[in-house]
Structure 1
């Protein structure tokens, strides 16, 4: 089971934010208790400076991109890609974060302080990676924070075509396998074209916050690390 860190000293909330406003706060810190309080309140951190530099911003997009049970659509081309890949869970968390944080990627925003913060959350059992492997090589993956039935995705990467999509399918299959008939949701922050084609929908912030409140106090969907493929 995850280790509960000391509580944050900050008040993390999106209540009162204007409709359509994504950035709802600036400041605070990246302590484990602060991050967990933020996710439980429907927020996530991303610096508002160049390439994610300080000051730290706290975001709650309106609308929010989410994947819900029954929404996943796997195209024929993605099914073909799956056949050549293996999905693993939590076997290369630091490598996944490092690839996601590659400064040469367009829109890079994952800074060294964020990498350290999520590394600590991983050590405490809250942050996880889903990895796509092919011929013994890590070719794609994603990472995020799991609280109850909520998986708050932070970033994904791919080095071969569709490898990040394969990881997302692996994540959904993992959550479905361990849901015990109860609900779950994957938060992808913002919907994109390719995520929409996979089944990600947009919901208003009020609906997302209600969903988070329902899910975060439920049982963990993340048993002891093991391969899902």
Structure 2
């Protein structure tokens, strides 16, 4: 067998290839710890670490929300077979990012929040959007009163809605920063059931990359774990 690393096009399941990538904006001026990573279609990866803000910085470059300072992030054939050179709109539809600190639009109902991105990007016709919307609402299993404004929702409902809103664009990968943060144990389990079981059923090839501070959930669900420490990245 050759010692050469296979090219990105040689692995039909490879979605994202990361080589020595560093965020441009490091929290607290910490030195960069270059990240090397391969993300395959349908893969579940958990990110753990001592500094949640550092994990957020890396997730944001992986999702093309923020630029890298050095290194390379390549998109596989499933998206574009090129570095981040796709038009911004197309790239943002291919990679989803959710963060518990990103607010929902306060003046829109849950249902209107859910549909907003799909209508803005004009990705599908009304019937397709409506079918996807109903599938996502159904997957929440009664956890959402979509007529409410966000201010009247529970934290669990807000997290459900934020994730579902990102999924309305059918991204190839969803990056979620600490989605279980601050939730009660029962609420964490409800959200984990939705994000880690029902979402892959609705989107069988979606890759999920999630940072969390909940080792119990990681132990229960994870296929791969990356741990970020002050001395580097560790995979197990």
When normalised by structure 1's length, the TM-score is: 0.32
Larger Rg: 2
